[in-house]
Structure 1
């Protein structure tokens, strides 16, 4: 699935991913390829971006706010204050603060 994370200042992430875990207002949930369409509010917490590998990512071009997970090199993390998620046709857009 394709993921784009946008803040008022910049596009923080834009790439193909395997899955996304987000802090929904009713609890954390994960989305995989071919997930049903969804729109959700996000609360403060951590977005976990699961990539097949980081080889195709240019980490120096990604926001310094994205950090690799200490225990798994296939997970990138982003702390947010709040946000909105829309997923439709394997394309997810997160508007984050």
Structure 2
């Protein structure tokens, strides 16, 4: 049996998950990273992308954006700005959000507008990526 560790998944709106897992793969600000049981302590910034949580026998996927991932004493805390379960993503709506965000980015007049539009593109892209991803 695989060694597990405890994970908490939290957003500003709610506590999404608390339990024992085998592996977590997360979108770090500088690239994806994975965590197993007995990982060294760390704090990492999160980017937008696919969060995969592996349990014994099954996996769950989420689209997340922004936040922090901490690990210490066999416990990981994922504080995400946004987080949507794969099963809750409407692919057509996510594609529309991505198209609209690209339009806002193209028409942005100020640096602040460009940054907000860029973040919206990344959030929508994460939703589309997760919704389209096939296990395997």
Specify the TM-score bucket, using the shorter chain as the normaliser.
0.7 to 0.9
Greater length-normalized contact order (CA 8 Å, ≥ 6 residues apart): 1
- Please, which of 1, 11, 14 is the counterpart of residue 10 of structure 1? 14
Higher helix share: 2
Answering whether residue 92 of structure 2 is matched by residue 88 of structure 1, we say no
In the superposition, the TM-score normalised over structure 2's length comes to 0.55
Deviation for aligned residue 1:83: 1.4
- Give aligned pairs, total: 77
Deviation for aligned residue 1:81: 1.6
Partners in 2 of 1:48 and 1:19 — Cα distance? 8
Higher strand share: 1
Gaps of 5+ in 1: 54-73
Gaps of 5+ in 2: 82-136
Aligned-pair RMSD on alpha carbons?
A: 0.7
In the superposition, the TM-score normalised over structure 1's length comes to 0.77
